[in-house]
Chain A
Amino acid sequence: MAQKALGAEVAVRSAPYFPRQKKRISSRSIGIIVFLSICALFFCIPLYVVVITSFKTMEQIRQGAMFSLPSVWTLEAWDHAWNSACSGINCNGLKVGFWNSVQILFPSLILSIAISMITGYALALWNVRWAGGFLFLLFICAFVPFQIIMFPLISMTAAIKVYGNIWGVAIVHAVLAMPVLTLIFRNYYKDIPQEIMNAAVMDSGSFWKIFTEIILPMSGNILIVVLIMQITSIWNDYLIGVTFGGMGSQPMTVNLANLITISTGTTRYNDNMAAALQTAIPPLVIYFFVGKLFVQGITAGAIKG
């Protein structure tokens, strides 16, 4: 008992009274840091190998020392992957896919965010009688596997003549993202105080006027989170791109997959790695600059309120 009481006293005294005292690193802390560093190493190995391989020559790669640094640093593979790597029968490199991805990205973003933002706003702040049921339906739709709606969506996009072009891919992205994004926006808007809405309506605000003058300026935080989440998920998507892109509008991930799976002749591993990096760089740049928002986005997307 006495020991415990003493322990408590020491614990209380040492924490608040000497906040500036330099703490010696305990052996437990060292153990934890060593363990976490080993784990971090495990996480970094694939990136390290991909980066160094992409700067090597094929001669060095054939010698087999996977982890050694390039003896000659060369950008040959980067140039080759970007300009002349083959995806199927076209050998114009990943730049084709890159520009397709960029062209897919913007309409997808605008469509998906516009429709889910307005839907979320209407469901959260306006009196819609069947809102609860509709939200539940959206919640279910958010988890539906893509395969169950794949063929009908192909038929529908073919019927409105967008199958196989940029717009087909963009529309399908918007459709598939709509349930999740609507739930995210709705959960954000439902916390807006009733008083603000009442005042806005008193001020003769119509549905659209309140949206553009009050709600939109308040949406900065959530908008940036959703934007980052959508940019990375659209950029990294493979399935929608390969299904709806047809021959001419395949995004970068599809080019990369074709490059690494359909190999004619000897596989040029340095090209493959350079191509993988080129595909990964845009989302990685976003991640390293606004990592915190990125994490918020993925957890919001996962938990959905």
Chain B
Amino acid sequence: MAFRWSRWSPQLALVPAVAVTAVAFVGAIGWTIYLSLTRSRRLPEYEIDWSEPLRQYTRLFADDAWAISLKNLIILGLGSALAIVFGFILAAMMDKEKRGESLFRTVFLYPLAVSLIVTGTAWRWLFNPELGVEHALHSIGLTWINFSWLATGETAMYGVILASVWQSSGFYMALMLAGLKSINSEIWSAARLDGVSLFRLYTEIIIPMMKFTFVTCAILLSLGVIKAYDVIVAMTNGGPGQSTFVPAYFTIQALSAKGNLGFASAAAVMMLVITAVIFLPLVMLTAWQQRRTGRAAH
């Protein structure tokens, strides 16, 4: 595709995008990494103390709130994984029963259309200790149920997880449904002929066939969990105490509330590292898939 007479126009058209990438992404990441090595407080300082360049990281890992954030990140990740399981169950059922598919799809996906701040607002109200669901359940005699999860530090993260699962299950349902629909329909009748039980059919044939969909979902979920910020702000604002801190919240808190730029930069760099750890398998997966489809095409 060598159109020599207009070689320069496409290059020129790419200038804004390249500039944005170079300045706002690559440059900005470098800037933050640099800042994480300095002693910057409220305003940036550009002198690196070479006797102790990693002092912000040392402080970070000695910080209790950061430890809580990392722990919560794992809890949130494992808890939110329920959304994938739930999404798969919903998709498998909708795939087998066509009646009402579009209605169910509409209902399961609507939470995705609204802001996480709205989701958080709604769930915060449901979890209200005095007037919420707990009160309603107690008033009909179910007094043994404890549903004011956001009120205590031990259970607050589970409240956040419930809201996240509610919000994102429909999304995984949609991805899984697309995956299920691409499975050859002959498998179903073949399995029925061979008398394979439905449970074995799913665990031994369907789920292994959909491993790409599952891995994609798992990676998207992990990336979403690292970015979790809005839902925390709306539901708990990090509290009670610091019990619902997550890295995204911790970093912004360190920057805007504490005005601790070097420290916040170190936390942001750690977030980037965590993202990279999750992201690497995705890159390899895509490369592998591309090679596979490339081979199939030839």
Contact = CB atoms under 8 A, between A and B. Distances in A.
B110 A47 contact: yes
B85 interface: no
A148 B271 contact: yes
B48 interface: no
Contact of A11 (B174, B189, B229): B189
B203 to A, nearest CB: 18
Contact of A145 (B117, B119, B175, B227): B227
Interface residues of A, number: 99
A100 interface: no
A149 B28 contact: yes
B115 A148 contact: no
Contacts of A53: 125
Interface string B97-117: 101100111111111111111
Contacts of A64: 130-131, 135-136, 139
B31 interface: yes
A257 B20 contact: no
A279 B132 CA distance: 22
A224 interface: no
A206 B275 CA distance: 41
B74 interface: no
B230 A144 contact: no
A7 B125 contact: no
B131 A144 contact: no
A29 B99 contact: yes
Interface string B13-42: 110111011011111110110010000000
A249 interface: no
B175 A273 contact: no
A126 B1 contact: yes
A155 B25 CA distance: 14
B269 interface: yes
Interface in A99-146: 115-116, 118-119, 121-123, 125-128, 134, 137-141, 143-146
Contacts of B184: none
Contact of B126 (A29, A46, A153, A155): A46
B88 interface: no
Contact of A298 (B14, B112, B275): B112
A36 interface: yes
Interface in B254-284: 255-256, 261, 264-265, 267-269, 271-272, 275, 279, 282-283
A276 B121 contact: yes
Interface stretch (A69-77, A85-93, A162-170, A234-242): A234-242
Nearest to A267: B128
Contacts, number: 280
B180 interface: no
A127 to B, nearest CB: 4
B133 interface: yes
Contact of A141 (B21, B32, B94): B21
Contact of A201 (B3, B17, B20): B3
Interface residues of B, number: 102
Contacts of B272: 144-145, 148
A49 B90 CA distance: 23
B269 A148 contact: yes
B1 A197 contact: yes
Interface string A1-37: 0001001100100000000000000001100110110
Contact of A194 (B1, B139, B237): B1
B43 to A, nearest CB: 10
B197 interface: no
Contacts of B78: none
B297 interface: no
A208 B126 CA distance: 54
Nearest to B16: A115
B298 interface: no
Interface string A255-298: 01100110000000100110111011001101110010011001
Contacts of B108: 39-40, 43
A187 B110 CA distance: 27
Interface of A: 4, 7-8, 11, 28-29, 32-33, 35-36, 39-40, 42-47, 49-50, 53, 61-62, 64-67, 115-116, 118-119, 121-123, 125-128, 134, 137-141, 143-153, 155-156, 175, 178-179, 182, 194, 197, 201, 206-208, 232, 235-239, 243, 253, 256-257, 260-261, 269, 272-273, 275-277, 279-280, 283-284, 286-288, 291, 294-295, 298-299, 302-303
Interface of B: 1-3, 6-7, 9-11, 13-14, 16-18, 20-21, 23-29, 31-32, 35, 44, 90, 93-94, 96-97, 99-100, 103-119, 121-126, 128, 130-133, 135-136, 139, 166, 170-171, 174-175, 178, 189, 192-195, 216, 220, 223, 226-227, 229-230, 233-234, 237, 248, 251-252, 255-256, 261, 264-265, 267-269, 271-272, 275, 279, 282-283
6 contacts: A138-B21, A144-B275, A145-B275, A253-B118, A257-B117, A276-B122
Given A143-B279, A302-B216, 12 more contacts: A46-B111, A46-B123, A62-B131, A126-B9, A147-B248, A147-B252, A147-B271, A151-B261, A179-B21, A179-B25, A236-B117, A302-B175
Which 10 A-B pairs have CB atoms at the shortest separation, nearest pair first? A207-B9, A236-B115, A152-B28, A126-B10, A287-B113, A149-B28, A119-B17, A122-B10, A280-B114, A147-B268
